[in-house]
């Protein structure tokens, strides 16, 4: 078993069964159980998504866990924020069997701290070292099935929190089209939206994913667009397989992630916001209008949510569709986001700040060496905004982020400008800077 192939930057992902299978899952359970024991833990919450392979992977992972003396609280099927919420309520680590929005041939595992946020790199590396060395703790733990109790608690907590926000659905004839992509949010989201008095058209496959990949990108959601237009619905909502991403279709187009972030700022009125450094300046401008403080951190949800806890921020997010509401749990929740977005006032979009974003990737031989060369040139030529993740700098009125990819030898370029023409010109300048460094 090649740990290097499946232990990724934030989680574990690989092709099933070629790269990870039931035998791998049991050994991983032993490794994570040993990590928990070494950190004075006694129990672990385990949940899974709706993928067929997730059931046997979870079963074998649990076998590995209990062999280390760790007790398992099995919450059954649900989104990843549900697993994190359950672990937070039980004051223990939690694990989700999922490969999120990856193609259906993949599966994997996500790990969360007792506070609810995802494991950081250094702790995932410790789990990998234990996995390699096979020096596992040995004892006998027990298994307790708690889905009924935890389902009820999760639902009631969401409804209690969401009731503090104005529900405008009853003021208008709102129809919403929902696509959960056969994923884990289907367990809760449809019923919760109906509780909000929304006329819901749920076109989701209930029991298992059928859209491959189960990623709520526009190219995978033509049928949602068609249904919204056919039913003259107010908007369409889509979540990914494990429910940590959300997409919104409104007025004939899919909103980009920064626009969704702005809508959520207006809906929740937070005092403190955390965003990944690739977030558009329009979000900062919206935060200013809302009289909220905004802090930036590295790209990647473990870093964003760790910063969320550090700053005690009520709202955090990334332009890829990840949004975290700490009042529920410090983990990205497509379920909670959907409930807020379903009754939001999208007419406000016309008054919100507008920017144009372009993204490009450049293959390089050594991303770390190339990144150092790029930073040196940028520091000589431009005003640097941030070096928290790669380098972010100004080119006239535009902002550019150049950062190393987390998974391949590429440099990512993100340009945020006032209009499309300026964005294209600055992207050309930035690509030349990378290629000539």
Task: List, edge to edge, every strand of the sheet that includes 356-363.
Answer: 356-363, 410-417, 398-404, 391-395, 383-386
The pLDDT, as a whole number, for residue 376 is 96
Calpha distance 233→225 (Å, rounded): 10
The pLDDT, as a whole number, for residue 301 is 93
Q: What is the pLDDT of residues 392-404, one digit of tens each?
A: 999 999 999 999 9
Q: DSSP strand E in 318-381: where?
A: 323-325, 329-332, 356-363
Annotated catalytic residue within 99, 100, 280, 316: 100
Q: What is the pLDDT of residues 177-190, one digit of tens each?
A: 999 999 999 999 99
Q: What percent of the chain stands above pLDDT 70?
A: 98
Q: What is the pLDDT of residues 196-237, one digit of tens each?
A: 889 999 999 877 888 999 999 999 999 999 999 999 999 999
Assign 240 to helix, strand or coil.
Answer: coil
Bridge partners (DSSP) of residue 361 are 412
The pLDDT, as a whole number, for residue 25 is 98
Q: For residues 41-49, give the mean pLDDT.
A: 98
Active-site residue, 100 included? yes
Is residue 171 over pLDDT 60? no
Q: DSSP strand E in 204-348: where?
A: 235-239, 246-250, 253-254, 272-276, 293-297, 315-317, 323-325, 329-332
Q: What percent of the chain stands above pLDDT 90?
A: 90
Is residue 433 over pLDDT 90? yes
Is residue 168 over pLDDT 70? no
Q: How many residues does the chain have?
A: 437
pTM of the complete model: 0.95
């Amino acid at each position: 078993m090649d740990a290097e192939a499946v232990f990724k930057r934030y989680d574990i992902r690989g092709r099933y069964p070629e790269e990870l299978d039931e035998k791998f899952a049991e050994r991983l359970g032993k490794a994570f159980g040993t990590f928990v024991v070494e950190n004075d833990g006694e129990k672990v919450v385990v949940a899974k998504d709706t993928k067929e392979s997730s059931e046997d992977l979870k079963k074998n992972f649990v076998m590995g866990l209990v062999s280390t003396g760790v007790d398992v609280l099995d919450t059954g099927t649900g989104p990843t924020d549900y697993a994190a919420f359950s672990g937070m309520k039980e004051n223990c680590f939690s694990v989700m069997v999922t490969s999120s929005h990856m193609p259906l041939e993949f599966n994997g595992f996500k790990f969360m701290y007792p506070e609810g946020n995802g494991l950081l790199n250094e702790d995932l590396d410790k789990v990998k070292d234990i996995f390699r060395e096979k020096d596992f703790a040995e004892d006998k733990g027990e298994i307790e099935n708690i889905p009924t109790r935890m389902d009820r608690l999760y639902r009631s907590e969401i409804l209690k929190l969401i009731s503090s926000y104005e529900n405008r659905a009853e003021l208008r004839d709102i129809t919403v089209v929902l696509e959960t992509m056969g994923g884990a949010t289907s367990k809760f989201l449809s019923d919760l939206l109906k509780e909000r008095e929304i006329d819901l058209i749920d076109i989701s496959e209930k029991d298992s994913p059928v859209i491959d990949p189960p990623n709520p990108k526009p190219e995978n959601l033509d049928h949602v667009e068609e249904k919204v237009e056919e039913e003259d619905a107010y908007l369409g909502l889509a979540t990914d397989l494990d429910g940590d991403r959300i997409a919104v279709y409104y007025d004939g187009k899919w909103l980009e992630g920064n626009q969704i972030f702005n809508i959520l700022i207006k809906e929740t009125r937070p005092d403190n916001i955390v965003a990944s450094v690739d977030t558009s300046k329009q979000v900062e401008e919206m935060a200013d209008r809302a009289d909220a403080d905004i802090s930036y951190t590295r790209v990647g949800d473990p870093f964003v949510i760790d910063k969320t806890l550090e700053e005690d921020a009520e709202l955090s997010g990334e332009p890829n569709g990840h949004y975290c509401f700490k009042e529920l749990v410090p983990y990205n929740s497509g379920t909670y986001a959907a409930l807020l977005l379903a009754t939001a006032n999208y007419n406000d979009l016309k008054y919100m700040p507008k920017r144009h974003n372009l993204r490009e990737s450049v293959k390089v031989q050594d991303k770390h060496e190339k990144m150092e060369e790029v930073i040196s040139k940028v520091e000589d030529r431009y005003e640097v905004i941030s070096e928290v993740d790669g380098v972010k700098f100004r080119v006239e009125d535009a902002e550019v982020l150049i950062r190393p990819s987390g998974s391949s030898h590429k440099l990512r370029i993100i340009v945020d400008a006032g209009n499309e023409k300026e964005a294209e010109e600055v992207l050309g300048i930035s690509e030349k800077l990378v290629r000539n460094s």
